Amino acid sequence: MSKLPSRVFTRRRLVQSGVAVAAVVPFLPKSLAAQQRQVVIYNWDSYIDPGSIPDFERQTGIRVRYDLFASNAELFGRLRAGNPGYDVIFPTNDWVARMIAADMLAPLDHGRLSNLGNIGAKFMDAPHDPERAFSVPYFWGTTGIGYRKSVVGQTPESWSTLFTDPTHAGRIALLNSDDTIYAALKYLGYSLNTTNQSELDEAVELLIAAKPRIRTFAPDNGEDLLLAGEVDLCLEYNGDILQVMEEDDDLSYVVPQEGGLLWEDDMCIARGAPNVEEAHEFIDYILDAENAARIAEYILYPTPNEAALALLPEEILNNPAIYPSEATMAKLEYARYQGEDVAKMYDDALTRVLAA
């Protein structure tokens, strides 16, 4: 894979940049907001290139406030009691469905999104949001194993490397989210959308048995632990590992043979957003082919923007860690929202693992 040009900001160090500085700027007083257009973004940590926010502000005159969340549960919890002032938010596909069911999203006006046609047709009729009434795809990806090649040796082809193999005890990080439950289910040969309580119990038992060998259940910073040498293996998102691979060529990423999670993060407008017009302008800016390609080349996640694909280098398009092979894709599953009772089953399963 080619090195990205002048990568001044690494993923987590991006919080030192102007993008994250905006995240600590307080909401504008109503009197000032009336004089200056603004949009308030609530996104995953460092999930954009450092140039897009300043460029959007220059092009539109719209001031951006950029806040960060660390998990879908945090995003959902922050808005469930009422929108505190966010405009554009970035939930994952199953959480989009959950937020639609809870009436937490505002409908999109496709007439205001002139670049919507850049999105590939296969992404437009999404099971979690038919006809894209409430969401537009931002990026997609996989979960798998990030690892240090010089220590692990052979490619960790199975989730057993994390869950049952004692070789790397104390040098493994898992995620403190449902993604860990999903990986355990796939290892056991079950669907990650199972509603069978006994299968979930088996996944919980597997993870509890593995806990003495797990260094930490990380809040989506396993790639930092891997880069720093604190762990040698971690369950993580593909783009996060690919970004630290730019800094350390001893690191790599693989989707295990049992398969894993296929996910999609979407751009949505939160119900009660104070700046709906500006929110549409921001989303349309991201949908522009050149802008989408620039972000994709920086964050190293696969883009659903078909027009942007034509602008990306072959080294990225042909990298199976970014764009998986058909054989790998066949083993992946999207997580589905199946109602609050099923969501509680998974929440309870994770709680049991973390509390054990």
Q: Report the C-alpha gap between 311 and 85 in whole angstroms.
A: 35
- Flag whether 3 is in a domain: no
pLDDT at 76 over 50: yes
Q: Are residues 152 and 192 in the same domain?
A: yes
Q: Tokens for 228, please give them.
A: 């720093």
**CB distance 211 to 352 below 8 Å:** no
* Shared-domain flag, residues 198 and 231: yes
Average pLDDT, integer, range 167-191: 97
Q: What is the CATH number of the domain that holds 19?
A: 3.40.190.10
Q: Indicate the number of domains in the chain.
A: 2
3-state secondary structure at position 299: helix
Both 238 and 313 in one domain: the answer is no
Which band of pLDDT confidence, cut at 50, 70 and 90, is reported for residue 25?
very low
Instruction: Clarify whether residues 68 and 180 are in a common domain.
Output: no
Residue 51's alpha-carbon distances to 17, 47, 216, 243, in angstroms, are 10, 12, 33, 17
Q: Quick one: angle between helices 289-299 and 276-287, nearest 10?
A: 70
Q: Report the pLDDT averaged over residues 63-82.
A: 94
pLDDT at 35 over 90: no
Summarize pLDDT for 198-250 with one digit per residue, the tens: 999 999 999 999 999 999 999 888 999 999 999 999 999 999 999 999 999 99
pLDDT, mean of residues 316-335: 96
How does the average pLDDT of the chain come out, rounded? 91
User: What was the pLDDT predicted at 46?
Assistant: 78
Expressed as residue numbers, the domain containing 206 is 141-261+324-355
Shared-domain flag, residues 216 and 329: yes
Range 82-110 average pLDDT: 97
What's the pTM value of the predicted model, to 2 decimals? 0.88
Question: Residue 3's pLDDT is what?
Answer: 27
Q: Same domain for 151 and 119?
A: no
12 confidence band (pLDDT: 50, 70, 90): very low
What pLDDT digit, counting tens, does each position of 101-131 carry?
999 999 999 999 999 999 999 999 899 999 9
Predicted pLDDT at 29: 52
Residue 46 makes CB contacts below 8 A (sequence gap 6+) with 9, 11, 12, 14, 15, 19, 20, 299
